[in-house]
A and B are shown apart, each in its own frame.
Chain A
Amino acid sequence: MKIAVCIKQVPAYSEGNMDEKTGLLIRTGLESIVNIYDLAALETALRIKEQRESCIDVYTMGPESAGQAIMESYALGADRGFLICDRAFAGADVLATSYTLMQAIQSQGTYDLILCGQQTTDGDTGLVSGALAKWLGLPGYGGVKKLDITGNENLRIAQDMGVQVLHWEIKGPCLIAVDRDIYTPRMPSLKLRMKARRKEITTITLQDLEDQDSRHYGLKGSATRVKKIFPPERTRKREVQQPEAKAAAGLILETVMNDQEAR
């Protein structure tokens, strides 16, 4: 089975700083990690590989430093890594990001399964995987929280639709966006981390893509602009009480009962 996993390097924490001119997050100096949802996607791929003979390719889009995310994936067990890196790709929104990912993935042939995280912890739109499925012309399943890889060639998935959970038996090629709770990501292995240092990362630039029109990528190819980033306003008043133990127990009980009634 040939599996592509899309991962993104995100800031380990955010100070909410934004470049006023470009509307882009300022990431300089902040520690970067692999998006936790994408680690769940990679873990899903690794679990499939444990059951069925597979090759896992990891794709990430970003500056050269994003290669670190691929090294991390190697330490977890990914086979090949592709860094989609070109100045033309900078500042991309959902539309341009998903288009670039599609072009990059197609430049390496076809896959039986594309795995993505449901969302990222920085942009947080949760839209890239759906848009990527559309560009690739593949069926896309978002919010997948369970995957059964035993049994026949097909995959059985549970897709969380908010009010209901849909159970599907699907076959590739397709795209699955997984919930972060689908699997607990494994810890990176020492042996694989040591080997990762000697593994190659393939860089994909604009020149490697079928569509080389720079107007379709990055800021130029984006349909949206970020106007402002700000922490949500805390509007809900929180009552602080410091009652004696018995009164506190009564208050807690009352709150729980009220809450249940409200539901």
Chain B
Amino acid sequence: MDKQLIYPMAEKYQEYLIDESKFSGTADSISFPESEAEISMILKEMKRSDTPITIQGGKTGIVGGAVPLEGHIMNLREMNRMKEFQRQDAANGLITVEAGMSLAKLQEVIARETRKNPLIWPPSPTEGTASIGGILAAAAKGTGAFHYGDTRQYVQAIRLIDGRGKVQYLDRWVQADSYLLDQILGGEGIYGVITEATLILVPDYEEKWGISFFFKELSQTDSFVQGLLAADEECQNNIIAAEYFDKNTIDQIEARKSNMAKIKEIPDVEDGNKHMVYVEIGGSEEEIERTAAILMELAEESDSDAESAWAVSGETEIQKMHAFRHAAAETANLLIEEARRTEPRITKLGTDIPQKHKTLKEAVELYQSDLNSEGIDFCMFGHCRDMHLHVNILPKTYEEYQKGKEMIGVWIKTVQHEEGKIGAEHGIGKLKKKWRDYILSEEEQQQMLELKEVMNPDGIWNKANIFGDE
């Protein structure tokens, strides 16, 4: 190799041993390839020494999927170019980008290319620095998941280099490819590295509003959410996202927002408000007005003051509210980071369990009562429409960490017993392998292992994700 592609690990690469899960590992070398050809060269080199490779994008995952346990780290940050933009008609478009492009950059490029008739790529994880490759590997959906559905349906094609070194191009137009594509997306890199993706774009709404409702009591919040879930179909179709924030989350964001450029101009939530529900709506002017009127009535019936509800419009202001939502996860991660300074064994402890058959009140009270009885700090936020709340346990000691971990186990088992299957959206990675049997059925696991055996027989790519020992 003329150009040095592989660097031995040194102190300056320490940040690549950890991701947002705050779980950390170890590695012998690292690379930052700029092309598929360079990836192939690095892969060849690693295969020669039988060295496992951990793929990294934005390192924003929270189950340790991008954390190496040994071997080589391949970070795709240099592969961040747009390859092609195709406008098919006013309502459709495709964009091909390299896997290391961040979501924020993708959104910026799409906005620039589609200024006259705006299009969007619907998956909306709140972390803008997440890479497209990472989003596809986890099939991450974000706050608009209930409205827009599975991320897979917004992917037309991918290029992937599998464990045999074979470059695969899988396009949805080919039926057999389509099946394979859906298997690989969400596969957490256990079949190979995605190098580029062609993404399906859809029309953006003519108008969007982001409305934040505030409540003093959980029962009032619950009544509002129940009303929202029971609203007519037309109203439902115009609701893009509905996100819940508890008081602890709001307090944590407010305590740190002066250091967060995007949200420091959002005023504090009025004293006395203990719960917040952010509802994003989209549609034509009439649809927006109708939906907003229904929500306002629901809020008033639930004793929330519509006069003090925030209602922003326009992309810039909506983005501010997305940053607020993202700050919920970010501040929880910061607290974990702080706890790690005295107890390095602590990692992120968050739930990822939809409780579709529970009301908001039932779900919140269940978590609250368990955590309060042990005296462990926590914060809670997440998607209201499928009651997919993310309870972030904030242990201060290893003992609390262990108790929190046990608690999550009990919740997972209970929900699996009550609801059948756990649809975790953060993936399994390395931190949730213990709960794999509750997240994936036996049949799903079998299919994944069979495909892995074909595409990545030596397990060189992301060896420690999903399968193997905890």
Q: Which residues of B contact A193 (CB under 8 A)?
A: 209, 292, 311, 313
Q: Which residues of A in the span 159-195 have a Cβ within 8 Å of any Cβ on B?
A: 184-194
Chain B's closest residue to A39 (CB) is B265
Q: Which residues of A contact B311 (CB under 8 A)?
A: 75, 187-190, 193-194
Instruction: Give the distance to chain B from A71, nearest Cβ to Cβ, in Å.
Output: 9
A50 interfacial by beta-carbon distance below 8 Å: no
The answer to whether B296 and A191 have CB atoms under 8 Å apart is yes
Instruction: Give the distance to chain A from B390, nearest Cβ to Cβ, in Å.
Output: 24
Instruction: Give the distance to chain A from B279, nearest Cβ to Cβ, in Å.
Output: 10
A65 to B309, CA, bound (A): 26
The answer to whether A187 and B314 have CB atoms under 8 Å apart is no
A188 to B310, CA, bound (A): 6
The answer to whether B307 and A192 have CB atoms under 8 Å apart is yes
Chain A's closest residue to B267 (CB) is A184
A29 to B295, CA, bound (A): 31
The answer to whether B310 and A194 have CB atoms under 8 Å apart is no
Chain A's closest residue to B320 (CB) is A187
B116 interfacial by beta-carbon distance below 8 Å: yes
A36 to B320, CA, bound (A): 14
A245 interfacial by beta-carbon distance below 8 Å: yes
Chain A's closest residue to B292 (CB) is A194
A contacts with B, residue count (CB < 8 A): 21
Q: Which residues of B contact A245 (CB under 8 A)?
A: 11
Chain B's closest residue to A68 (CB) is B314
Instruction: Give the distance to chain B from A247, nearest Cβ to Cβ, in Å.
Output: 10
B4 interfacial by beta-carbon distance below 8 Å: no
Q: Which residues of A contact B211 (CB under 8 A)?
A: 190
Q: Which residues of A contact B307 (CB under 8 A)?
A: 189-192
A194 to B293, CA, bound (A): 8
A31 interfacial by beta-carbon distance below 8 Å: yes
Per-residue 0/1 for A197-224: is the Cβ within 8 Å of any B Cβ (1 yes, 0 no)?
1000000000000000000000000000
Q: Which residues of A contact B266 (CB under 8 A)?
A: 187
A244 interfacial by beta-carbon distance below 8 Å: yes
Per-residue 0/1 for B258-300: is the Cβ within 8 Å of any A Cβ (1 yes, 0 no)?
0000000111000000000000000000000100110110010
Instruction: Give the distance to chain A from B365, nearest Cβ to Cβ, in Å.
Output: 28
A197 to B313, CA, bound (A): 13
Per-residue 0/1 for B302-321: is the Cβ within 8 Å of any A Cβ (1 yes, 0 no)?
00001111111111110000
Q: Which residues of B contact A184 (CB under 8 A)?
A: 265, 267
The answer to whether B310 and A191 have CB atoms under 8 Å apart is no
Q: Which residues of B contact A244 (CB under 8 A)?
A: 11-12
The answer to whether A186 and B293 have CB atoms under 8 Å apart is no
The answer to whether B314 and A194 have CB atoms under 8 Å apart is no
Q: Which residues of A contact B11 (CB under 8 A)?
A: 244-245
B115 interfacial by beta-carbon distance below 8 Å: yes
A219 to B329, CA, bound (A): 50
Instruction: Give the distance to chain B from A41, nearest Cβ to Cβ, in Å.
Output: 15
Known A192-B307, A194-B293, A242-B12; judge A187-B115 contact (CB<8 A): no
Chain A's closest residue to B311 (CB) is A190
The answer to whether B315 and A12 have CB atoms under 8 Å apart is yes
Q: Which residues of A in the span 74-112 have a Cβ within 8 Å of any Cβ on B?
A: 75
Per-residue 0/1 for B457-469: is the Cβ within 8 Å of any A Cβ (1 yes, 0 no)?
0000000000000
Chain B's closest residue to A243 (CB) is B12
Q: Which residues of B contact A131 (CB under 8 A)?
A: none
A132 to B453, CA, bound (A): 75
The answer to whether A190 and B267 have CB atoms under 8 Å apart is no
A55 interfacial by beta-carbon distance below 8 Å: no
The answer to whether A186 and B292 have CB atoms under 8 Å apart is no
A130 to B317, CA, bound (A): 30
Per-residue 0/1 for A10-33: is the Cβ within 8 Å of any B Cβ (1 yes, 0 no)?
001000000000000000010101
Instruction: Give the distance to chain B from A18, nearest Cβ to Cβ, in Å.
Output: 18
Instruction: Give the distance to chain B from A150, nearest Cβ to Cβ, in Å.
Output: 21
Q: What are 25 A-B residue pairs whose CB atoms fall within 8 Å in the complex?
A: A12-B315, A29-B115, A31-B315, A31-B316, A33-B317, A184-B265, A187-B266, A187-B311, A188-B310, A188-B311, A188-B312, A188-B313, A189-B306, A190-B211, A190-B296, A190-B309, A191-B309, A192-B307, A193-B311, A194-B289, A194-B292, A194-B293, A194-B296, A197-B289, A244-B12
Chain B residues in contact with chain A, CB under 8 A?
A: 11-12, 115-116, 209, 211-212, 265-267, 289, 292-293, 295-296, 299, 306-317
Chain A residues in contact with chain B, CB under 8 A?
A: 12, 29, 31, 33, 36, 75, 184-194, 197, 242, 244-245
| 8 closest A-B pairs by CB | A187-B310, A190-B311, A190-B309, A29-B115, A12-B316, A193-B311, A191-B307, A191-B306
